[in-house]
Amino acid sequence: MLNLRANAPTPFLDRREMLRVGGLGLAGVTLPMLLGPTAQASTAAKPAKNSKSFGKAKNCSSLYLSPGPAQLDTYDPKPDAPDDIRGEFGTIQTNLPGVRFSELLPKSAKWMHKSALVRSMWHEHNDHGRGTYWMVTGYPYLGSVPDVNSMSRADMPHIGACLAKLAPGAGPLPAWAMVPHRMDVAGGRRAGQFAGSLGPKYDPLLPGGNPNDDDFKLDHLPLSANQPAEVVKRRLGLVDQLNAQSTALNELAMSQTIKDSQAKAVGVLSSDAVRKAVDLSAAPKAERERYGRNLFGQSVMLGRRLLDAGTRLVQVNWQRSQGVDGFAWDTHWNNFAAHKEYLVPPFDLAFDALMTDLDKTGQLEETLVVVASEFGRSPKITKSNAGREHWPECFSVLFAGGGIKGGQVYGKSDKIAGRPAENPMTPADFVATIYHCLGIDPAGEIHDQANRPISLSKGAPVMALVE
pLDDT in tens, 81-137: 999 999 999 999 999 999 999 999 999 999 999 999 999 999 999 999 999 999 999
The answer to whether 99 and 409 are in contact (CB under 8 A) is yes
Query: CA 201, CA 31: separation in Å to the nearest integer?
Result: 9
The average pLDDT across 207-229 equals 68
Q: What mean pLDDT do residues 372-385 have?
A: 97
Amino acid at 145: V
Residues 212 and 293 sit within 8 Å (Cβ to Cβ): yes
Q: Residue 249: pLDDT above 50?
A: no
| Rg of the chain (C-alpha set) | 21
Q: What distance, in Å, lies between the first and last C-alpha atoms of the chain?
A: 32
Phi, psi for residue 125 in degrees, rounded to 5: -100, 120
Which uninterrupted H or E stretch holds 358?
helix 344-360
What backbone torsions phi and psi does residue 71 show, to the nearest 5 degrees?
-60, -35
Query: Where are the domains positioned within the chain?
Result: 15-418+439-465
CA distance 409 to 396: 10
| Residue 186, pLDDT above cutoff 80 | no
Q: Is 204 helix (H, G, I), strand (E, B) or coil?
A: coil
* CA nearest to 232, candidates 274, 186, 199, 196: 274
- In DSSP notation, 116-162 reads EEEEEE--S--SHHHHHHHHHHSS---S-TTGGGS--TTSPPPHHHH
Task: Provide the strand spans (E) within 311-444.
Answer: 313-317, 367-372, 376-377, 390-391, 395-401, 408-410, 412-413, 420-422
Strand-pairing partners, residue 102, are 91
Question: Is pLDDT of 18 > 50?
Answer: no
pTM of the model: 0.83
- The partner residues of 370 in beta bridges, in order of sequence, read 62, 399
The model's pLDDT over 20-73, given as tens digits with 9 standing for 90+, comes to: 333 333 223 333 333 333 333 333 334 454 688 999 999 999 999 999 999 999
Element (H, E) at 265: helix 255-269
Higher pLDDT, 17 or 374: 374
Q: β-strands 176-179, 313-317: how paired?
A: parallel
φ, ψ (nearest 5 deg) of residue 290: -60, -35
Phi, psi values for residue 119, rounded to 5°: -110, 15
